[in-house]
Each structure stands twice: as C-alpha cells, then as structure tokens.
Structure 1
Amino acid sequence: MIAWANRWQIPLYLAGILVGGAVGLAVPRSSSILETLITPTLILLLFTTFLAVPFAELGRALRDLRFLAAVLILNFILVPMLVFGLSRFVAHDRALLLGVLLVLLTPCIDYVVVFTRLAGGSASRLLAVSPVLMLAQLALLPVLLGVMAGPDVLGLIDVVPFVGAFLLFIVLPMGLAVITQTLARRLAAARAVERTMDAAMVPLLALTLAVIVGAQIDVVRTYAGELLGVVPIYIAFLVIATVLGILTARVFRQDVATARATVFSGSTRNSLVVLPLALALPEPLALASAAVVTQTLVELGGMLVLVNVVPRLVVR
C-alpha cells in the first residue's frame, strides 16, 4: 500500500486538487462545510507527519545553530527584500498589497514539514525551529508591514490567530505524536496506529489538498478579475525563494537533507494561519483575504512541482 501510494503520489495530489476545485465550483455552498474540515484534516495530516519524525533527534536539531541562523536569515532578511520588490507591483491597491504582504512575509510552520519530508529533507530540523520561526514572525510582521504598507495598518492587524494556530497545528499534533511513539514501545495498538498512519500519509495529503481547494476556490472565482495581477507575483516568489534557499544552503555548507529543509522553509508560506488575520480586516480591504487564498492555491500547485524538482537540484 505504502509503495503504491508513494509511486502514484503526484497523480493522487493532482486528483485531490482537481476534485476539490470541481466540488467547490459546482456546489458553492459546500465551501462552508469544507472550511470547517480544514483544521481537523490538517491536524490529522500533521499528526501523521510528526509520527514519522524521530523526536529523539529534536534536541540535536534545535542545537544546530547554523541551520537556525540559515532559516532566520533566509526568512527574515532575504525573503522580505524579495517581497518588498514583488509587492510594488500591487502597491497601488491597498487591499491586494496587504494580502500579498501578510502571506509572503510569514514562513510556514505547519504543512512545510509534510512537503519537506516528501522531498527527502530534514523534517525534524524544521519541526525543532518552528517555535522560533513563529515567535520571530509574530515580532517582525508588524515592523515589516509598517515599513512596506505604512504604519497606519498596524491597528488593523490582530495577532491572536497566530497563537491559536501554533497550538492547533504544532503543539496538539506534536503532543499526540510523542504520546503515540512513547506508547508504541509497549503497546501493540500504538504500533498499529504508527503503521496505519504511515500508510495513510499520501491519501491524507491528497484529501487535505481537496478540502483546502474546495473550501477556497469559490472565493478566488468571485474575485478572479482583481486577483489576476497577484498570480505572477506568487509564481515569481516560489521560483526566486527556491533559488535563495539553495544559495543560502550553499553558503552555510549544509548537507542534502538540511539544505532541502532550508529551501522549503523559504518557499512555503503561512497562508492558513494569516487567513484569519486577513478576514478580520475592515470591509474595504476584503480583497486581502482573497489574495491570501489565491496564494494558497498557487503554492499547493507549486509544492507538487518542488517535491520533485528540489531533490534533483539539491543533491550530494
């Protein structure tokens, strides 16, 4: 089952995206139902991913100061410079500008672990530094927004969803995975859970893609005309951020698995976490949330490419 799923993973992921998109467009009312499924589905996916991470390695990974320095420099110096340049193309539209900045300035701390593992990267290292990345973006996002969009936007942003997302998408599934791994040393039932979830990884990611796309595709369709201008920005970001990640990994002389983790840390964004922030903006800025949703869809498609391309670009 595992070998079959791994061999057909990309067609399965594409099928998930297409099915989700078709359902979301054909039955727009389904988006509200699918939206409620995003959080539990993502938690289950991350639980499955964390189960495959040897938590004994987390202590060593967290002490890897070179990796921590690499991802911090990449995400909070190099990427913001890139985002500032790209965001100038929508600087005339405040709502689009805010949406682009919110999503591109915040490095992903959840499903980046999934894609990193699929590409043969060091998922344990990314998992270990995720609290640092979360705290750093909490502290720096207001500063970066103030510089790039003007200081008056700061009163519009509520950072509470960041804390809730960290608890839901990192602390909860990680805690469950640690408990399961601990019990697996003694209980056959826990070992069966480990085997079952490992086999379910690919179908679960396909299901998650279908749920996310299905929940959000109608929003993109509604604002399609206004959002056309941000699609090239998101594609350019994926390409350039990947290159920046590769160059950063080379500067820090990282091994293959660590370098791939660095690349994915720089190219994946925190769209599911910042979406509540965008939704909480005043009505005149409603387009910001649609811009965040659009980035999610572009990124998901891009990740399916990167999980195959990065292992070919980052080799021994």
Structure 2
Amino acid sequence: MSTAQGGLVQRMEDHQIAIYLAALALGALLGWAAPAAGPGLEYAINPVLGALLFVTFLQVPAGDLVRSLRDGRFMGAALVVNFVVVPLVVAAMFAFLPADQAVRLGVLLVLLCPCVDYVIVFSGLAGADSRRLLAATPVLLVAQMLLLPVFLYLFMGSGLGEVVDAGPFLEAFLVLIVIPLALALALQAWAARRPVGRTVSRAATTTMVPLMAATLITVVASQLPKLGGSLGDVAAVVPFYAAFLVVMAFAGRGVARLFRLDTAASRAVVFTGATRNSLVVLPLALALPDDLAVAAVVVVTQTLVEVLGMVAYVRLVPRLVPAPARPVVTAG
C-alpha cells in the first residue's frame, strides 16, 4: 500500500463516525429523491453486508477466535444480557407500543436479536474487547435464530409466530456468516503462506469504512420509500428505541459486574446488549407478507436511532465503565 493510500485509510478510520452519519443522510436523500430505485437496491443489501462481515472477520486471527470461544464468563454474560435481560426490557415496553401488528412485529424482530456486524466497529472505538464480541458472533446468531420464534410466540401468540419462516434466517446465516467467515479464514491461511496473500489481506481490510457506509446508504435508500402512510406509527417507536439504549447501558454494566469481567470485556457486554441486529434481520422482515411490510421500515428506523446512539456510546461508555485507577507510587 502506498503512503498516500495509507494516509487516506487512516483519515477514513479517524473520521468514520462522521462518514457513517453522512451515509445515513445520503441514503435518506437518495430514498426521497429516487424512490423507484428502492426495489433494486434491496437486492444489493445482502451482497454489501456479506462483504462487510467478511472484512470484519478477516481482521481477527482464527486462533484468537478459538481462544475467545473458550472464555465461559464472557460468553455467559453475552448470552444473559441478550437473551434474558433484553427480553425482559422489551416485555416492559411492549404494552406501550403502537397497536399496529406490523409495527409491533418489526420492533420485536429488531430488539430481540443482538447485533453481529457494526457492533464490532463501535465497541472497538470505545475501548471494548471487540475480538471477544467477534468470536461470539456465530453463537449469538445461532441462539437468536433458535429463540426468536419462541419469543414471538410469547409476545404475540401462535398466529404471528408462524408468520416468521426459518428459511430467510437460515439463508441470512449462510450468506452473511458462514460464507464470509469461511472466506476470511481461507484468506488468512493464504496470507500466512504467500506474500501475495498478505497483500490481498491488507488491501481487503482497508475497505471496512467504505463498506459500512455503502451498507447504510443501501439499506436506508431502499426502505425509506416504503414509509407511505405509516410515518406516524413508525415515528412513534423512536422514543422506545432511544429508551432501550439508555436502559441497556446500565443493564449491560450490571451483567458485566455480575460476571466480574474486566474493563474491556465489560464495555463489550454493554455494547452487545444495546446494539441490535437490524441489518441482518432485515431480509427476514422483507420476507413477511405484504400486510406486514411496514415491519421492515420499523427495523430500518432502529438502525437510524442506533447509529446516532452509538455516537454517544463511544464517548459515554468509557465513563460508565471506566478503567481502574492506577495506584499512585510515591518515593519512599
């Protein structure tokens, strides 16, 4: 990589939050100015998200993944905060959600499923142990795939629980997790043996910020035209998403303390409890019947709120979960 290219990559990484906010704005502008492009852009969601996850997996060596998966305390904390604490928080707010079934279903889809993509980026910016989170990604995705139908049944009854087909979720798991992870491991093995492999690997890792921006633009631009007459109901869920971020910051810290995790791991638990799987569950929402189509827009709305929330999290979580003070050494 040339010095100029390296400088450009560094500048993008230094200003990635601003880039992501600009991507959201550009996606909204594109969706408003060219609504006819929405259906075509939907086909690009999975490819661009799969590429983003491939680059994410590529940045953590396979050995670190295996070691992190053996960390029982962290994995236990991640599972408890996502599949015990989060459902309880959602249950507390559920009765106050808009009565529209599609809106409620969209909220459940997105809030009950932990994030497996950009949580890695934002948690790392806040000094969290993003490698442990990355190692937990396959476990969290499999767990949510198995538990989501159960949660939907508990919240909405058997009728709507049966609407969610396992097919789209299995497809998302294959396309967005299994294939990108396998390709990343293959490229790591190639890089370990061949100089050209190392060159390709280094070049691929420089695309993280542009791919994240492209994903946000594609998702927002493809879903914004679907708002139609549902703007009021969709807007009504924004305060719930904001409240969820506030509550889960403290709940995540509490779970991390319960499991006696160190500072970096505790911050990671806060992030995994707060960030939701909006981008990966979107294909599932898009597969719903037409009378529930607004659920996809409700899912994307959570992305908009959450990215703004992550800007605050990056600054506030290190204060909420501070590093231990270093002992003062005095001359004797």
Alpha-carbon distance between aligned partners in 2 of 1:34 and 1:304, rounded to the nearest angstrom:
26
Match for residue 295 of structure 1 among 298, 302, 313? 302
Alpha-carbon distance between aligned partners in 2 of 1:268 and 1:18, rounded to the nearest angstrom:
20
Match for residue 39 of structure 1 among 43, 46, 49? 46
SS of 2:136 mapped into structure 1:
helix
In the TM superposition, 1:208-223 aligns within 5 A as 208-220=215-227, 223=230
Structure 1: tracts of 5 or more residues without a match = none
Residue in 2 that maps onto 1:84? 91
Deviation larger for 303-312 or 166-175: 303-312
SS of 1:223 mapped into structure 2:
helix
Residue in 1 that maps onto 2:4? none
1:221–1:267 CA distance, 2 compared to 1 (3 A): farther
Instruction: Give yes or no for the alignment of 1:276 onto 2:278.
Output: no
Alpha-carbon distance between aligned partners in 1 of 2:293 and 2:212, rounded to the nearest angstrom:
29
Q: CA deviation at 1:67?
A: 0.9
Q: Residue by residue, what CA displacement relative to the aligned partner does 1:91-126 show, whole Å, maximum 9, x if unpaired?
A: 633222222112111112233333333433223322
Deviation larger for 176-185 or 107-116: 107-116
Q: Give the length in aligned residue pairs.
A: 316
Backbone CA RMSD of aligned residues: 2.0
Residue in 2 that maps onto 1:72? 79
Q: CA deviation at 1:238?
A: 1.6
Alpha-carbon distance between aligned partners in 2 of 1:4 and 1:273, rounded to the nearest angstrom:
28
Supply the AA of the counterpart residue of 1:143.
V
1:32–1:301 CA distance, 2 compared to 1 (3 A): farther
Match for residue 108 of structure 2 among 101, 111, 114? 101
Instruction: Give yes or no for the alignment of 1:245 onto 2:286.
Output: no
In the TM superposition, 1:1-316 aligns within 5 A as 1=7, 2-90=9-97, 92-220=99-227, 223-316=230-323
Alpha-carbon distance between aligned partners in 2 of 1:185 and 1:276, rounded to the nearest angstrom:
35
Alpha-carbon distance between aligned partners in 1 of 2:313 and 2:95, rounded to the nearest angstrom:
26
Supply the AA of the counterpart residue of 1:256.
T
SS of 2:299 mapped into structure 1:
helix
Q: Residue by residue, what CA displacement relative to the aligned partner does 1:238-263 show, whole Å, maximum 9, x if unpaired?
A: 22122211221122221222122212
Q: Identity over aligned residues, as a percent?
A: 48
Deviation larger for 167-176 or 189-198: 189-198
- On the 8 A contact 2:98/2:236 being kept in 1, the answer is no
SS of 1:90 mapped into structure 2:
coil
SS of 1:29 mapped into structure 2:
helix
- On the 8 A contact 1:55/1:124 being kept in 2, the answer is no
Alpha-carbon distance between aligned partners in 2 of 1:284 and 1:185, rounded to the nearest angstrom:
51
Deviation larger for 143-152 or 111-120: 111-120
Compute the TM-score of the two structures, normalised by the length of structure 1.
Answer: 0.92
- On the 8 A contact 1:91/1:97 being kept in 2, the answer is yes
Q: CA deviation at 1:79?
A: 0.6
Larger Rg: 2
Supply the AA of the counterpart residue of 1:172.
I
Structure 2: tracts of 5 or more residues without a match = 1-6, 324-332
